Structure 1
């Protein structure tokens, strides 16, 4: 339940703004990330493609050099003078020396015309040695045939070495790449010698060293045996301070190979030549995007600008959507406080406008219904008050008339006149002129007439006194509200007493409220009986309940009757109504 309430807000404006903000932030982050990733991947892909093109060009160039060396080897392989010299039994004969001069002159021309060829050398099985230089510069025959290029060509028919220091000429140690090939006789079975062609290593070095693949990227070459042909940090490689994944490269096909180096990713672009060498371009993805930080900053900047603009639009939009709802809410609060004259001034044609128009119609209907209810309640209250006023105990009238008859029969004419006069005034007051309220003085006069009649009926049964403050006599009070209280005191408090009773009526003004108390020293009552006084009980009659009900109908529930009583000690009834002046006409 708490999770569900976490995203609930008290304001619809906040809810809409938060919903739009979350949607916009999520969309902006996704778009910014995808834009950056696509840009980064595009630059990486372009850079890898550029690296592939470079190593393809390097491979093609090197293949061209090797093919040229093979062409020279094929040309010399088919040279008749060389074959004749290499098969001579005595290479030092005059004919042999003449052939050597002609052959060396041809080799010298070839080497001088090409900057990629460092040297050309023939070693015959008969001890003959031919080169593009004077023979005095060469090492001895036994030293020459002991070298790798000679022995591997004798075994494999053709051999291309890695980069190495050449030891063919005395006191010269150039870096070359050697290609050696076995020469055979006319029967294709006899081995007549080995041809050596040295490729100038500077050509490979210049070709590869000028290639730039970022700040850390480079190109290196490895042969099919795993030996490095070229590496820009070859000396560091030989000292084992740096290494390359040679085995992985040899096992990999042409394409890309992604590896980790010191927690940094590097991409190896591999291309295999037609003679087995692998040309490898090394690039670092974090350097491929040279302006990576700039791209990140640009992405964050534009993403933030778009986010701020979108959030601003969402806030304005949420405010626009929620403003009529808040306005309608304010109107509802006015209605809640009782203002039914308010109208929702919303003219939109959408659902909110329809709701506002429905609200206005509802308020009009509620106001009409309230007016109708108030009118009906006023009529009902008037009819109830009039009905309650007419609820005078008929037994009192019967008993009073019987008392008058008894006194007349006993010739008590003065008492008859007095009782009849008091009764007539009571009846005249009860009928009245249709008014609901009278002055306190008139109500007290009516009460005095009633007590006169009752004191004559119950001779020496009780005595009474009326004490009312003068400022109360002009105040308003409902007609016939005190008589039922005095009647209740007589019939339920004093009538069954053996000794004489006492009734006291007092009236005073307390903070704008009229308080009239009716006290007796009668039998009193317990709490259970006291709590039932304000209900229409049979024992207590309808008088007290009628008075209390009439007061609350007319003045409100804050006013009415209250009781205090103890058994054998008497009862006190307090009547409370608001004080208001009334101009009373003489009856």
Structure 2
């Protein structure tokens, strides 16, 4: 710090610029990028989890609908008759209508569910099989039928495997549901086997999501980590090479894991009702590329700010540092005895004034040294006074009176009446600069205002004003009620079909003046009235005025009417002179002190 004292202004300024401008910009830019990256990564995780929930729900619903088809086959009389029919000619003849109805049922589902590949029903009592769909060779048939028999009627889902389709001479990947069919009249009697095959490519198209486009991929694995559904058909049926995915699938629960070495994020969601997991792989590096806009903006801001900072540095140097350096050099000349030193004056700011005074000082020194007496010193002081002409308030409402009489002469009585009411409103609002007016004057003023509003709104608005005779001379803050009335008209009655009605009443109660403003509008939103008072400018301002005058003796309360609408109540001490209000304020000041 001591060394800093001996630096020149130039180096001090450069140091301050580097520490206070350059470094903060660099640090804030880096911090903004890091926070933005964290926010984007977090949002990606949340959106991916939501997408996986939707995929799991859709896939679970789809699988359940397939199991429901096999349940229908179990309880179908036509299916039981077909599976139990013998080989006699009469029984064989009865098979044709049964096959027709069963085929119709199967074709309906094949056409309404495009992901269905085929449906096969085989009798275990006779050498009979009904296949609806493309002709195929199912090499996994015996394996899963054996598992279905062990399941004894429960659905058995296969892994994803390939089948040879004779119709199209190509290989397709399917996931099959095998289910043993029993005689419902004798549950120990096994009569058939139902097989429903789902095309994995079409099934994936049904459940896939666009949430991971460009940043990752979504696929389905079983509990052993084998891929069931995947956008790349070549990977279907193979085991996922990532051990982390296999570990997460084996846990049979939802999880989030991060593979730091490859910057990959894996999110799994278990599918209800089936031992499958939806896996989402998110490439965090690709997610970060989405922040290129933030990086570019940060770089542009950095460059622009630095350019502006350098311009400010140059400007400060030529307008401040250089004149100070020149003044230092001229002062050294004076110190050496050269009184001819003179500063150029290029501005009228502090530097220019300092230069002027330096020149004046050297001039005075020269005069004193040369024994010249200054006979007269002329001090010129220029003061410019801006005169602001204020319009006489009486001129305005006198002009309104003149317009009103002119309207009457032109037989425009309605216009004359409105102008007269506006003139009265203006006359009351002036109130000779008073802050407090009688409740009667305040209600007269708002009555005129409501009359004008009634003229504008017509039958859709009405009002009622009531006050006790004993409360007429009580003082109230000028224009305390108008903000509440405006709130009712502008917000309470907005978009209301029924006519709006405003009710104002004033009365004396236990030494207090009570003013109620009620309407039949839509009422207040929510039940937190204290929050409403703080958020609304009119209510907040009104409460501050009451507390400033009466402190804890005044209150502003909000209520909801049972039939709908808002109720605002003002309560403060009943006073008839401003001196009493000042007494309240002085008492509170004494208590505070």
| TM-score scaled by length of structure 2 | 0.49
Name which structure has the greater RCO, CA cutoff 8 Å, separation 6+.
1
Find the structure with the greater CA-based Rg.
Answer: 1
Instruction: Compute the TM-score of the two structures, normalised by the length of structure 1.
Output: 0.49
